[in-house]
């Protein structure tokens, strides 16, 4: 395996095995890289950067290469005897059209999902719309589903067509939120989670090695730590094409 370290701190590795490609030629893809995604003249890291595509840019897929590359997003770390592995995204080189340009982008930061709306601030942070607003804006509501129902005094379920199911539960000490999305990959679910939680930005600024780290990456499950001990996000491939983003957080103990 050949590894290249680029000036902006990401490690790329060539992977010579093929992976499944869910996209169809002519399909619209969207950029989910908050800092933008390079458009290159050839499907290579040495290709000339023609343009940096902004977050949310729409692309028309023209062709997919057979080769896959891996990009190191978060470096490994060790703290108090606990090892945290690095986290990588992989993907093909995609030939896309945007405006008058036709060139190549890395698949890792694109998705068929329309992007979350965000408002950016000068310090690099941002505020994004919540998942309820996103679901209502993005997915058609199927009349066979109840749009919302209170299943418990502390629990709410909402269905958005046949593409998204949102659940939330809270009590005095902890809570969870579950978002089920149809017909997407673990990678695409990660892109949504990353923007919602500002995960990669938070990982770069974390004060402890345990915060905002990859805890587990298996074939059907990715688990990440969040800012507080015990808080985590689990992304899991479920049956019938569903992917779940499950977030569990404890609540601060009120001061006496």
Query: Is the Cβ–Cβ distance between 60 and 19 less than 8 Å?
Result: no
Number of domains in the chain: 2
* CATH code, 43: 2.30.30.40
CA atoms within 13 A on the CB side of 53: 25
Residues 61 and 141 in one domain: no
Residue 188 in domain: yes
Residues 218 and 123 in one domain: yes
Residue 40 in domain: yes
4 or 124, higher pLDDT: 124
- Band (pLDDT 50/70/90 cuts) for residue 79 is confident
> Please, what sign has the CA dihedral across residues 43, 4, 13, 38?
negative
Residues 122 and 90 in one domain: no
Residue 255 in domain: no
- Band (pLDDT 50/70/90 cuts) for residue 2 is very low
From CA 235, how far away is CA 92, in angstroms rounded?
21
Residues 104 and 207 in one domain: no
Residue 131 in domain: yes
Residues 17 and 107 in one domain: yes
Query: Is the Cβ–Cβ distance between 141 and 207 less than 8 Å?
Result: no
Residues 15 and 80 in one domain: yes
Domain ranges, residue 100: 3-111
Residue 72 in domain: yes
Pick from 87, 43, 62, 75: nearest CA to 190: 87
- Terminal-to-terminal C-alpha distance of the chain: 56
Residues 9 and 73 in one domain: yes
Residues 73 and 197 in one domain: no
- Band (pLDDT 50/70/90 cuts) for residue 154 is low
Residues 92 and 155 in one domain: no
> Please, what sign has the CA dihedral across residues 12, 13, 19, 25?
positive
Per-residue pLDDT, averaged over 43-49, amounts to 90
Residue with tokens 């592995």: 85
Residues 127 and 100 in one domain: no
Query: Is the Cβ–Cβ distance between 135 and 70 less than 8 Å?
Result: no
DSSP state of 197: H
Please say which residue of 111, 129, 156 terminates a domain: 111
The region that residue 9 occupies, defined by phi over 0 for left and psi between -120 and 50 for alpha, beta otherwise, is left
Residues 125 and 237 in one domain: yes
Per-residue pLDDT, averaged over 186-204, amounts to 95
Point out which residues pair with 201 in neighbouring strands: none
Average pLDDT of the chain, as a whole number: 84
Model confidence over 100-109: pLDDT tens digits?
A: 999 999 999 9
Say whether pLDDT at 76 is over 50. Answer: yes
Per-residue pLDDT, averaged over 68-88, amounts to 90
pLDDT of residue 153: 57
Residue 256 in domain: no
Strand bridging mode 82-84 / 37-40: unpaired
Residues 122 and 246 in one domain: yes
Number of Cβ within 10 Å of residue 183's Cβ equals 13
Query: Is the Cβ–Cβ distance between 40 and 30 less than 8 Å?
Result: no
Per-residue pLDDT, averaged over 21-42, amounts to 92
């Amino acid at each position: 395996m050949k590894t290249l370290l680029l000036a902006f701190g990401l490690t790329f590795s060539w992977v010579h095995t093929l992976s499944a490609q869910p996209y169809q030629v002519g399909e619209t893809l969207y950029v989910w890289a908050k800092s933008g995604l390079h458009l290159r003249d050839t499907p290579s890291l040495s290709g000339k950067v023609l343009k940096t595509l902004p977050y949310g840019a729409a692309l028309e897929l023209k062709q997919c290469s057979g080769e896959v590359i891996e990009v190191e997003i978060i470096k490994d770390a060790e703290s108090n005897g606990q090892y945290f592995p690095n986290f990588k995204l992989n993907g093909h080189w995609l030939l896309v059209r945007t405006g008058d340009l036709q060139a190549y982008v890395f698949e890792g930061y694109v998705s068929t999902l329309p992007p979350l709306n965000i408002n950016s601030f000068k310090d690099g942070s941002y505020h994004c719309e919540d998942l309820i607003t996103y679901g209502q804006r993005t997915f058609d509501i199927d009349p066979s589903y109840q749009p919302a129902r209170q299943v418990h005094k502390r629990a709410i379920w909402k269905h958005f067509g046949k593409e998204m199911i949102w659940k939330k539960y809270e009590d005095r000490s902890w809570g969870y939120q579950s978002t089920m999305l149809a017909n997407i990959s673990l990678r695409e679910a990660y892109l949504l989670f990353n923007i919602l939680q500002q995960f990669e930005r938070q990982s770069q600024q974390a004060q402890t090695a345990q915060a905002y780290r990859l805890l587990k990456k298996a074939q059907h499950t990715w688990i990440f730590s969040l800012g507080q001990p015990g808080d985590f996000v689990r992304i899991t491939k479920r049956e019938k094409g569903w992917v779940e983003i499950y977030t569990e957080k404890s609540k601060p103990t009120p001061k006496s």
